[in-house]
Amino acid sequence: MTAPELDHTRPMAPQEAVPGPMGGVLEGVDVSCWFGSRKVLEGVNIKMDAGVVTALIGPSGCGKSTFLRTLNRMHELVPIATLAGSVLLDGHDIYGVGLRLTEVRRRIGMVFQKPNPFPAMTIADNVAAGLKLTGKKVADRDGLIEASLRRAGLWNEVRNRLDAPAGGLSGGQQQRLCIARSLAVSPDVLLMDEPCSALDPTSTRRIEETILELKDQVTIVIVTHNMQQAQRVSQHCAFFLAAENEPGRVIEQGPTDRLFSDPNDPRTADYVNGRFG
């Protein structure tokens, strides 16, 4: 099967514009992805509910991060990348007519594996950077900065040095600063691509605490290779796997407790118990 052309013209059904604030229910419907002629992901169907942390697990190369990047239209940044299927935010196709790319990125934020603050920019200006990029205006900039840092669990550590360069923060603090920057634009969904893989255990614990504190405020989808982390922070889990020379697909998904304690597929049991991957 050849890769389809990336289609940005699909209409949003039934309206052409998105009404009101979105609630953060995200859904991938029959999502398949290609890089050139190579199909890397096939037929993924996952519903990521508001107020729930969804963990995407599986060995390297099975399509987890590729799927995550389709959820806020980052997949299309790769020139040879194409996709099929739909990504719905509260029932509206984020690739459809009527929803601007900047609005997608505001509503569906992203935190990457490696913290990426602007190192020469102050801590406060880092938090506010997303406002300028999305064109969002606020009446109380200082209040928003404080609220965002509090939500990211960083305020008490930086409150007296908001004008200091962000490059002086530790790795874990930088990652929480990136979370605060994403939260400042009031997203409905926060995507996290292995946010703790480069951090020490103490920083990892603090990020996990932040995730649990945020889950009732924003829908969270996290890619992780750490099975203990998936169990600690998520309520829903999807196991991805790719056979040799085959695209990745979801083998099994469901409540995290069940997936780890009583999976339906023996491949899931093998993976979560460390027998491969």
Domain chopping of the chain, boundaries: 26-272
26-272 in CATH: which number? Answer: 3.40.50.300
- pLDDT reading at 6 higher than 50: no
SS3 assignment, position 110:
strand
User: Span 89-112, mean pLDDT?
Assistant: 88
pLDDT category, 3, cuts 50, 70, 90?
low
User: Span 67-82, mean pLDDT?
Assistant: 92
- pLDDT reading at 213 higher than 80: yes
Average pLDDT in the chain: 89
- pLDDT reading at 15 higher than 80: no
> CA angle at residue 102 from 166 to 14, to 5 degrees?
145
Report pLDDT for 275.
87
Q: What are phi and psi of 223, to 5 degrees?
A: -95, 130
Identify the CA nearest to 94 among candidates 174, 135, 171, 102: 102
User: Span 147-169, mean pLDDT?
Assistant: 96
Query: Is the C-alpha dihedral spanning 209, 211, 214, 216 positive or negative?
Result: negative
d(CA 196, CA 18): 34
User: Span 115-141, mean pLDDT?
Assistant: 88
* 15-19, 120-124, 129-133, 187-191: least confidently modelled range: 15-19
- pLDDT reading at 16 higher than 70: no
Cβ–Cβ under 8 Å, residues 266 and 239: no
d(CA 240, CA 242): 7
Identify the CA nearest to 98 among candidates 188, 12, 6, 7: 12
